[in-house]
Amino acid sequence: MKCIFCEIINKNIPSSIVYEDEGVIAFLDINPRTRGHTLVVPKRHVSSLIELSDEEVCELFRDVKKCAELLMKKLGATGFNIGLNNGRSAGQLIEHVHVHILPRYGDEGKGFESAFPIDEELSEKVKNMPKGLIDFSTLP
């Protein structure tokens, strides 16, 4: 099965490119959640953020910052959300690492908190955990 992002990278599928350099391409999402919703994608095909080298992660997020600044300036956005779904269980639909930039304009009222409501029961357990370096086996 062909990777749609690799097809976009190779210019076999047209896209609205926002930014491109040697290692990264950024283009408008064809299913936008906000005006200017952009995907920033490493050109090397990897399905997980963990598969990228530290240098590639730095390059990717340096370019995410560049694109976010560009979108804010050009579109008049007053903020932005950044998202990365890593793995099917996290909602990753295309198995090629990609970072979502969602410009915000001040009237949407939606952010991380509304997308992921607090689990009150889990919150109480975390509040009552010993402080300092944790032992992951005791994580609620």
Task: Provide the CA 95 distance to its chain's centre, in angstroms.
Answer: 13
State yes or no: is 98 an active-site residue: yes
The DSSP result for 49-109, as a single string, is GGGS-HHHHHHHHHHHHHHHHHHHHHH--SEEEEE---SGGGT--SSS--EEEEEE-SS--
Our CA dihedral for 121, 122, 124, 128, rounded to 10 degrees, sits at: 140
The one catalytic residue among 37, 45, 96, 98:
98
| Tokens read off for 110 | 């939606």
CA dist., res. 92 & res. 66, Å (int)? 23
Residues serving a catalytic function are: 98
